[in-house]
């Protein structure tokens, strides 16, 4: 799994993991195709590999990873600000990792928290069978992000 500029991750061949790596690589190619690899990117899933893969700024005001049931209580409903922070690009996996039924504890609460804000403040700029990618409608600053820095 790589963007050919940041960190390269070696993926062990286990059930489902190779599909995850191929999915991440598809998103990497889409982000590169959008010429958005220097933007602040947040991923609506368990973890966000994109800042490390692209050597891009991480979004401010968001969790490093969302582990509902471990670091975040199951049933917690985050605000869109907690999920997106100052991100310019939002990647939304159509096949989250881990897959259902575990996805109910990871990506589903994140998608539910941001859905209305995505519709009002972002534009869908890419979609295929694996990913949706949203870009902040107000434009992006590759060094600052799309919105205000949120206090933690």
Nearest in space to 85 (alpha carbons), one of 100, 104, 70, 66: 66
pTM of the model: 0.80
Task: Compute the Cα dihedral for 81, 74, 95, 59 and give only its sign.
Answer: positive
Each residue of 99-141: pLDDT tens digit?
667 666 678 889 999 999 999 999 999 999 999 999 999 888 6
What is the pLDDT at residue 65?
79
Q: Are strands 122-127 and 131-136 parallel, antiparallel or unpaired?
A: antiparallel
Phi, psi torsion values for 127, nearest 5 degrees: -155, 135
Check: CB of residue 1 under 8 Å from CB of residue 47. Answer: no
């Amino acid at each position: 799994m790589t963007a050919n500029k940041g960190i390269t991750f070696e993926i062990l061949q286990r059930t489902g993991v190779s599909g995850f790596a191929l999915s991440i690589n598809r998103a990497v190619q889409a982000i590169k195709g959008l010429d958005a690899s220097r933007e602040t990117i947040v991923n609506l899933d368990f973890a966000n590999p994109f800042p490390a893969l692209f050597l891009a700024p991480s979004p401010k005001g968001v969790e490093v990873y969302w582990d509902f049931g471990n670091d975040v209580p199951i049933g917690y409903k985050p605000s869109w600000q907690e999920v997106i922070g100052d991100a310019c690009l939002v990647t939304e996996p159509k096949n989250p990792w881990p897959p259902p039924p575990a996805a109910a504890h990871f990506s589903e609460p994140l998608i539910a928290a941001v859905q209305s804000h995505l519709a009002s403040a972002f534009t869908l700029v890419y979609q295929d069978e694996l990913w949706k990618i949203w870009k902040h409608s107000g434009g992006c600053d590759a060094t600052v992000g799309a919105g205000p820095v949120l206090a933690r």
